[in-house]
């Protein structure tokens, strides 16, 4: 089967929504490309004294509504095309939640597991210094993404502040540790938001979460938090798939215990009481909720026909190809799209940035209550739109977000 790139997927999704909206072709053309991309190649001193040159990117898709916003990933498979696609999805995601941002995304081609802590710090600093001319609290605000975390954000904020002459700029990145201007609730916000969306979807479909089962692909920051919040809602998690293998237990897996086990052993595959499950069997499991929380292009025409879940909640960015979307729609799977489902992260990033600007910090209850309210409202708005226009949730989310963007682009006089 032909490999379809994330950028091709993002453009297809945009094109389909543009057609439905009868979008002005000039606005459509603006949205098909990121406004700005930067490629950087920067040296890092390794522990053995040698120097390695790493490649990184930053894409800023659009700033019609506000500065670019979006994470930075460290992954060996990062490409310019991927970063461009991810920056497009960020624009549409911010639009769905009504955040005053456009989309951005960055990446470095590296397997961070091969680096020592010192090498990781030097790489993080060198990358942010290289892209420093185009980022800043009013211009483009990075955040964590795949394989990056609060410590890395702290190094990046520190380095940017040094490059800019020693004034501390807490608002240049979000997802920082609390002590240097991070927001309470940010690290688990994406998972918390995913579960709010799953809960809202379950209500509409008449699914009782305390009797529901879920399977989760990926146990990183997002997958791990989603698993924990789902379990708190009473959902039984029966399978988890990770890069090094999958595990299944029909009686349910306790995510807290599993995460503690992985912390100790470095893997989930040997977790007691479970049997191994292949990638293929995982996607075909009988369950209520399927949560892809790993990388792009995981649900394709190869595995979509076998999916039995009632709700597919996209915690990852771009996990489903457009062909798979069609298959799932025919099967009646209720898909909650990435640009809505995983928007809890960037929403609390927005709260963090606001707190940095105000120098006034909120309690965790305030953060969670505002997140809850915004996610519930966004779900209701997209659901209403999907009913009204008789389209799926992804199409409705794109239509809503692009309409707002089109209005901003028009009034600013770009098209
Ligand atoms: N990387 C996350 C995402 O894809 C969060 C971005 C942010 O907080 O700016 O939504």
Residue nearest to atom 8 of ligand 1 (CA): 346
- For residue 1, name the pLDDT band (cuts at 50, 70, 90): very low
Token output for 110 = 């590296």
Percentage of the chain exceeding pLDDT 90: 99
pTM (2 d.p.): 0.97
Which residues have C-beta within 8 Å of that of residue 119, sequence separation ≥ 6? 44, 46, 47
140-144 mean pLDDT: 98
Among 257, 280, 284, smallest CA distance to 268 is for: 257
Which atom, in ligand 1's list, is nearest to the CA of 146? 1
- Cβ atoms of residues 286 and 248 within 8 Å: no
How far is the centre of ligand 1, averaged over its atoms, from the C-alpha of 331 (Å)? 30
Say whether pLDDT at 31 is over 60.
Answer: yes
From 61, 104, 143, 356, mutation site for ligand 1 pocket: most ligand atoms within 8 A of C-beta: 143
Q: Ligand 1 in contact with 349 (CB < 6 A)?
A: yes
- For residue 166, name the pLDDT band (cuts at 50, 70, 90): confident
Among 233, 230, 271, 228, smallest CA distance to 249 is for: 271
Q: Ligand 1 in contact with 298 (CB < 6 A)?
A: no
Among 314, 123, 88, smallest CA distance to 201 is for: 314
Q: Tell me how far apart the alpha carbons of residues 140 and 71 are, in angstroms, rounded to a whole number.
A: 10
Q: Ligand 1 in contact with 342 (CB < 6 A)?
A: yes
Q: Tell me how far apart the alpha carbons of residues 337 and 294 are, in angstroms, rounded to a whole number.
A: 14
Which residues have C-beta within 8 Å of that of residue 149, sequence separation ≥ 6? 175, 221
Q: Tell me how far apart the alpha carbons of residues 263 and 268 are, in angstroms, rounded to a whole number.
A: 9
CA distances from 383 to 100, 143, 220, 337 (A): 22, 28, 28, 11
Residue 64 is predicted with a pLDDT of: 97
SS3 content of the chain, % helix, strand, coil (to 5): 50, 20, 35
Residue with tokens 């030097």: 122
Domains and CATH numbers, the chain: 35-167 (3.40.50.10860), 189-332 (3.40.50.720)
Q: Which residues of 222-249 are buried (b: 16+ CB within 10 A; e: fewer)?
A: bbbbbbbbbbeeebbbbbbbbeebbbbb
pLDDT tens string 5-29:
999 999 999 999 999 999 999 999 9
Residue nearest to atom 10 of ligand 1 (CA): 346
Q: Ligand 1 in contact with 317 (CB < 6 A)?
A: yes
Q: Tell me how far apart the alpha carbons of residues 147 and 71 are, in angstroms, rounded to a whole number.
A: 10
pLDDT tens string 193-238:
999 999 999 999 999 999 999 999 999 999 999 999 999 999 999 9
Of 1-10, 27-36, 115-124, the one with minimum mean pLDDT is 1-10
Q: Is 217 helix (H, G, I), strand (E, B) or coil?
A: strand
How far is the centre of ligand 1, averaged over its atoms, from the C-alpha of 387 (Å)? 28
List residues with catalytic annotation: 105
Which atom, in ligand 1's list, is nearest to the CA of 346? 8
Rounded to the nearest 10°, the torsion over CA 377, 382, 383, 387 is 140
Q: Tell me how far apart the alpha carbons of residues 172 and 157 are, in angstroms, rounded to a whole number.
A: 6
pLDDT tens string 282-291:
999 999 999 9
How far is the centre of ligand 1, averaged over its atoms, from the C-alpha of 294 (Å)? 14
Which atom, in ligand 1's list, is nearest to the CA of 175? 8
pLDDT tens string 235-267:
999 999 999 999 999 999 999 999 999 999 999
Say whether pLDDT at 94 is over 70.
Answer: yes
- For residue 2, name the pLDDT band (cuts at 50, 70, 90): low
Percentage of the chain exceeding pLDDT 70: 99
How far is the centre of ligand 1, averaged over its atoms, from the C-alpha of 389 (Å)? 29
The sign of the CA dihedral 114, 275, 278, 189 is: negative
Rounded to the nearest 10°, the torsion over CA 184, 187, 191, 197 is 40
- For residue 3, name the pLDDT band (cuts at 50, 70, 90): low
pLDDT tens string 366-408:
999 999 999 999 999 999 999 999 999 999 999 999 999 999 9
């Amino acid at each position: 089967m032909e490999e379809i790139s994330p950028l091709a997927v993002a453009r297809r999704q945009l094109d389909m929504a543009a057609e439905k909206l009868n979008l002005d072709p000039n606005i459509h053309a603006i949205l098909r490309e990121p406004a700005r991309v930067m490629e950087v190649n920067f040296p890092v001193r390794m522990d053995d004294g040698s120097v390695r040159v790493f490649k990184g990117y930053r894409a800023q898709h659009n700033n019609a509504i506000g500065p670019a916003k979006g994470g930075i990933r460290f992954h060996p498979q990062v490409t310019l095309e991927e970063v461009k696609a991810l920056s497009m999805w960020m624009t549409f995601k911010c639009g769905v939640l009504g955040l005053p941002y456009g989309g951005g995304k960055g990446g470095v081609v590296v397997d961070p597991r091969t680096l020592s802590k010192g090498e990781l710090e030097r790489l993080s600093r060198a990358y942010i210094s290289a892209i420093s001319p185009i980022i800043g609290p009013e211009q483009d605000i990075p955040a964590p993404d795949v394989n990056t975390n609060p410590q890395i954000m702290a190094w990046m904020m520190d380095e940017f502040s040094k490059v800019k002459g020693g004034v501390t700029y807490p608002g240049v990145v979000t997802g920082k540790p609390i002590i240097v201007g991070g927001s309470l609730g940010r690290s688990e916000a994406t998972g918390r938001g995913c579960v709010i969306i799953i809960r809202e979807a379950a209500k509409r479909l008449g699914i009782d979460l305390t009797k529901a089962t879920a399977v989760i692909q990926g146990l990183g920051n997002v997958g791990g938090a989603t698993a924990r919040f789902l379990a708190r809602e009473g959902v039984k998690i029966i399978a988890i798939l990770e890069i090094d293998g999958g595990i299944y237990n029909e009686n349910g897996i306790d995510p807290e215990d599993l995460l503690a086990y992985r912390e100790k052993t470095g893997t989930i595959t040997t977790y007691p009481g479970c049997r191994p499950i292949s990638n293929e069997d995982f996607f075909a499991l009988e369950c209520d909720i399927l949560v892809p929380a790993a990388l792009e292009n995981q649900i394709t025409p190869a595995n979509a026909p076998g999916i039995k879940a009632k709700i597919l909640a996209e915690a990852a960015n771009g996990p489903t190809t457009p062909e798979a979307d069609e298959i799932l729609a025919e099967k009646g799977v209720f898909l909650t799209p990435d640009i809505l489902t995983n928007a809890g992260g960037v929403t609390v990033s927005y709260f963090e940035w606001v707190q940095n600007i105000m120098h006034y910090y909120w309690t965790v209850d305030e953060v969670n209550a505002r997140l809850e309210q915004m996610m519930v409202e966004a779900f209701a708005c997209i659901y209403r739109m999907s009913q009204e226009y008789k389209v799926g949730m992804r199409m409705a989310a794109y239509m809503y977000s692009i309409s707002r963007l089109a209005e901003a682009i028009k009034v600013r006089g770009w098209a």
